[in-house]
Amino acid sequence: MQAILISCYTDKTNLIKLIKSFNDEMNVYVHIDSTSKEISEGDLDFLNFKNLSVIKRYNTAWGAYGHLLAIIDLMKLAIANEKNNFIHIISGQDYKIKTNHYFHRNFENNDNIYFSVTHPKDLPKEFEERYTKGMFSSYFSLKNEKAVKINTLYQSLSNKGHIGEFEDVYKGVLWSSMPIKICKYVLNYIESNPQFLEDLKHCIIPEEFFFQTIIMNSKYKSNVIPTTLRYVDWTYRNGNRPAILDETDFIKFKGSNFLFVRKVETGISDELIKLIDENLLKEDKNLLKEEVIDKNDLINTIRQKEFKYLPNSTYDIIGKYDDNISCQELFEIFDEIIEDSSLWLGDTTEKCEEMLSYFDYILEKYELY
């Protein structure tokens, strides 16, 4: 089974769509920024997904150490479930562009590690100074003017050429995909080598050195595929850098091997999300689970119609389900009704016609076509 690790702080609408797209077929672990006023842990309870875990612990301001701690805690939750064999780390402003079937087919037995990676010495000096000069405290955001002012003084006093035991330090973005055994290796490493995290506390955007430095200095280096499998436009557009994607981006990643796109934002990316759902995710056999039906409303709807051949067991069948019935569960109900109505005997064409009319009525009523 695969695990989806999501870090979020805003755009509850997209977060819910994103979680629904995995359709409870994967274990989803969500960390909500502790300062977020838009999203609370209870906001996701209505989904009633058995494979969803939500925590709200750290301030995950951009560039802050708290974001790395949030990811580490999500990793710990993921490895605690022995069924998980592969993880994907994404943000709440990502959106999936491959079907669940694609994920299962390509990553269930995959030993590769997917992330961007560069040696800082191959980058402009400012990137190397993120760890050689660093930051007086990565608990603060670099978007805070006072933090920047204090940090300027700190950097003038600092000169460090390594993180923990590593003089070869590697950089890349946090968003990545890897086997669960690699997560275990990384967590075991930081537990056995606490100085590594201590040094990261004083790095600028410490999360960007975390996986890359540990893994590129390990025996798993040869498993690295230098791609994130995420489509990102790093230009400034729609008021943000990286760009907030819109419908004009669809053609750029359609047919690609990307798994996710980012960043998306409700209001700006609505048409893009619609294009993805209708063109790239339509083969997801359980995608319709996004729609849920109130059980009592379904019962009342059936009672308002007079169906001659509806079996007496219909309401007992529906009663076995939770208050919110998914589209997938609705078809399970249909299947049980067919069995109890003896349609399999093929005794009357009239009975078959009425049953089809009954199913058609329900699906149209709840706009599931």
**Three-class HEC string of the chain:** CEEEEEEECCCHHHHHHHHHHCCCCCEEEEEECCCCCCCCHHHHHHHCCCCEEEECCCCCCCCCHHHHHHHHHHHHHHHHCCCCCEEEEEECCEEECCCHHHHHHHHCCCCCEECCCECHHHCCHHHHHHHHCCCCCCCCCCCCHHHHHHHHHHHHHCCCCCECCECCCCECCCCCEEEHHHHHHHHHHHHHCHHHHHHHCCCCCCHHHHHHHHHHCCHHHHHEECCCCEECCCCCECCECCCCCCHHHHHHHCCCCCCEEECCCCCCCHHHHHHHHHHCCCCCCCHHHHCEEEHHHHHHHHHCCCCCCCCCCHHHHHHCCCCEEEHHHHHHHHHHHHHHCCHHHCCCHHHHHHHHHHHHHHHHHCCCC
User: Residue 332's pLDDT band (boundaries 50, 70, 90)?
Assistant: confident
Number of domains the chain is built from = 2
> What is the model's pLDDT at position 335?
76
pLDDT over threshold 90, residue 179: yes
pLDDT over threshold 90, residue 192: yes
User: Residue 186's pLDDT band (boundaries 50, 70, 90)?
Assistant: very high
Burial of 90 (0-12, 13-18, 19+ CB in 10 A): buried
Q: Domain check: are 106 and 156 in the same one?
A: yes
A 10 A CB-CB count for 330 gives 23
The verdict on residue 20 lying in a domain is yes
Domain limits at 140?
Answer: 2-279
Q: Is the dihedral of CA 30, 33, 34, 35 positive or negative?
A: negative
Q: Domain check: are 268 and 298 in the same one?
A: no
Q: Domain check: are 140 and 233 in the same one?
A: yes
What average pLDDT does range 154-158 have in this prediction? Answer: 65
pLDDT over threshold 50, residue 272: yes
User: Residue 131's pLDDT band (boundaries 50, 70, 90)?
Assistant: confident
pLDDT over threshold 50, residue 345: no
Q: Domain check: are 304 and 206 in the same one?
A: no
> What is the model's pLDDT at position 78?
98
pLDDT over threshold 90, residue 6: yes
Q: Which of 247, 279, 311 marks a domain boundary?
A: 279
Q: Domain check: are 63 and 183 in the same one?
A: yes
Q: Domain check: are 212 and 312 in the same one?
A: no
What average pLDDT does range 314-323 have in this prediction? Answer: 86
Higher pLDDT, 21 or 62: 21
What average pLDDT does range 276-297 have in this prediction? Answer: 73
The verdict on residue 285 lying in a domain is no
Span of 73-82, 180-189, 198-207, 212-221 with lowest mean pLDDT: 198-207
The per-residue pLDDT of the chain, averaged, comes to 87
Q: Domain check: are 220 and 329 in the same one?
A: no
The verdict on residue 286 lying in a domain is no
User: Residue 344's pLDDT band (boundaries 50, 70, 90)?
Assistant: very low
Q: Domain check: are 136 and 249 in the same one?
A: yes
Q: Domain check: are 267 and 330 in the same one?
A: no
Span of 41-50, 88-97, 148-157, 174-183 with lowest mean pLDDT: 148-157
CATH of the domain at 110: 3.90.550
> What is the model's pLDDT at position 130?
75
Q: Which of 279, 300, 333 marks a domain boundary?
A: 279
> What is the model's pLDDT at position 137?
66
pLDDT over threshold 70, residue 284: no
> What is the model's pLDDT at position 139?
62
The verdict on residue 250 lying in a domain is yes
Burial of 135 (0-12, 13-18, 19+ CB in 10 A): buried
Cis bond upstream, residue 98 (ω within 30) = no
HSE of 130, CA atoms in CB hemisphere, 13 A: 24
Q: Domain check: are 123 and 242 in the same one?
A: yes
The verdict on residue 346 lying in a domain is yes
Going from the C-alpha of 288 to that of each of 88, 296, 328, the distances in angstroms are 23, 20, 7
pLDDT over threshold 90, residue 253: yes
User: Residue 288's pLDDT band (boundaries 50, 70, 90)?
Assistant: very low
Q: Domain check: are 226 and 343 in the same one?
A: no
pLDDT over threshold 60, residue 346: no
The verdict on residue 284 lying in a domain is no
pLDDT over threshold 50, residue 289: no
pLDDT over threshold 60, residue 343: no
> What is the model's pLDDT at position 114?
98
Q: What would the pLDDT profile of 40-81 be if each residue is shown by its tens digit?
A: 989 998 888 889 999 999 998 887 889 999 999 999 999 999
CB 152, CB 146: distance < 8 Å:
no
pLDDT over threshold 80, residue 159: no
Q: Which of 249, 279, 309 marks a domain boundary?
A: 279
Q: Give the type of residue at 155.
A: Q
